[in-house]
Structures are given as structure tokens and as C-alpha cells.
Amino acid sequence: MFDSDPVPERPLAPASYGFPDDPAQRLPWRHAEERLSAARHYWLSTASASGVPHATPVWGVWVEGALYFDGPPTTRWARNLDENPRLTVHLESAEDVVIVSGRAEDLTLDERLGGLVVAAWDAKYGRFAPDPVGDGVRRLRPSRARAWSDSGLGDGTAWTLTR
């Protein structure tokens, strides 16, 4: 989880985008977390060490303030993350937008966290749960997030996420 509830900020963008200056119009962090938890697919955007971009959809689960996903270490995105752990994740919708950026970690989950990840995976997909002690489980440790809804950009919000 985060050190504290992330504080909504105005995204860095030109004034013409219409992002709210009034903090009362910004989205609460729970808006982003609800969508991250409910999402079925996540678009990963990675780059190789030389900067070649790559985007791909993956399955994953949002547990305790982080995205857990897995896949074979031979995939382009996994090889990119081995070379350059910076990662951006975007949900499928272009109308109810949530974008999270941070660093990916290759890890083995402890029993408690592994149980939470597998339970969330089973509840969402009903199959192909990752092996929490096997190869390929990754975690996005988010550091920044942005979101806005279909109401236009009038509720556009950014968050700095600290642990």
C-alpha cells in the first residue's frame, strides 16, 4: 500500500485541456483503484534498453496497491522489462482513462501475498492463475497515475504514489 492516501493533483498539461484547477473537481484515488481492480485486460507499454517501444495486452490483478501480471520470460515485454524496468499500464477504455507508471519487479511472492494474488486471479479469470513461486510473476510498483472520465477532461486528475 501507499504511505498515505494519494492526493489528487492537476495533471501537467496546457490550460486548454480543461483539467480542473479546483481540487473538489478532481477524482479520488479510489476511482482509479476501482477501475484497476475491475479491469480484465491491461495494456503494458515497455521499451527496450535502446528505446524501441512495445505495447501489449496482458491479464493481471490489482492487489494492495500494485499490479501483478505474468508471462513467459521470452516475451518481448518481459525481455524489455529485464533490460529497462520502467513501465506504463493503460486500461482498455479511452473514455474512462486510468494510466499508471512505475517500475516492474520480477519476484517470488510470499505465502500471504501469493494467496491474495491467486485468489484475485481465480475470481477474475477462473483459470491460468500464476504460480506465485514460479518464474514470470511481475509486479508494477506504481509511482505516478493519471485518470479522467467520459465527462470530458473536466475531472482529469494525477497522483504521485509513494511507499
- Whole-number pLDDT of residue 151: 67
Whether the CB-CB separation of 50 and 97 falls below 8 Å is answered with no
- Mean of the pLDDT values across residues 27-47? 96
In a domain, 106, yes or no: yes
| Structural domain containing residue 29 | 15-160
CA atoms of 104 and 109, how far apart (whole Å): 14
pLDDT over 90 at 19, yes or no? no
In a domain, 3, yes or no: no
Residues forming a β-bridge with 141 = 103
Helix (H, G, I), strand (E, B) or coil at 69: strand
- Mean of the pLDDT values across residues 36-56? 97
Question: 67 — phi, psi (to 5°)?
Answer: -95, 130
- Mean of the pLDDT values across residues 89-103? 95
In a domain, 1, yes or no: no
Cα–Cα–Cα angle for 149, 2, 145, rounded to 5 degrees? 30
Q: What pLDDT digit, counting tens, does each position of 105-141 carry?
A: 988 788 899 889 989 999 999 977 777 666 678 999 9
Total structural domains within the chain: 1
pTM value is 0.91
64: domain CATH number is 2.30.110.10
